[in-house]
Amino acid sequence: EVQLVESGGGLVQPGRSLKLSCAASGFTFSNYYMAWVRQAPKKGLEWVATISTSGSRTYYPDSVKGRFTISRDNAKSSLYLQMNSLKSEDTATYYCARPDWFAYWGQGTLVTVSS
């Protein structure tokens, strides 16, 4: 059974950093692209980042480019999202997802950016 479990969310002040993790199991992690998607409270979904199988290619929307970094450790079947220079508008639930059909999602981890 495919499982994606996010961790690392919490309350952080504007301008600070936070790193999210996603532990994957139930599939061969190194064979799949991985992604982060977020959802602000009572808002729609927003794609945040995608990383290739080896980690050599990464993709971001303009809203987070230069501030967020997606990475992976295939030996640990883990996905990461380093978030720097956080803004109040980054407040959201962050989901880890497998972007082949987006069939598999984690349960999400809440990040709140507030002073």
Partner 1 sequence: DIQMTQSPSSMSASLGDRVTITCQASQDIGNNLIWFQQKPGKSPRPMIYYATNLANGVPSRFSGSRSGSDYSLTISSLESEDMADYHCLQYKQYPNTFGAGTKLELK
Q: Which of 15, 82, 102, 114 binds partner 1 (CB under 8 A)?
A: 102
Applying CB under 8 A, among 62, 66, 75, 115 the residue interacting with partner 1 is 62
Please report how close the Cβ of residue 16 comes to partner 1 at its closest, in angstroms. Answer: 25
Tokens matching residue 16: 């600070």
Counting residues that bind partner 1 (by CB under 8 A) gives: 20
Find, among 50, 49, 51, 97, the residue nearest to 74 by Cα: 51
Interface with partner 1, residue 60, by CB under 8 A: yes
Q: Are 15 and 103 in contact (CB under 8 A)?
A: no
- Tell whether residue 46 is a contact of partner 1 (CB under 8 A): yes
Q: Which stretch binds partner 1 (CB under 8 A): 17-25, 59-67, 69-77, 79-87?
A: 59-67
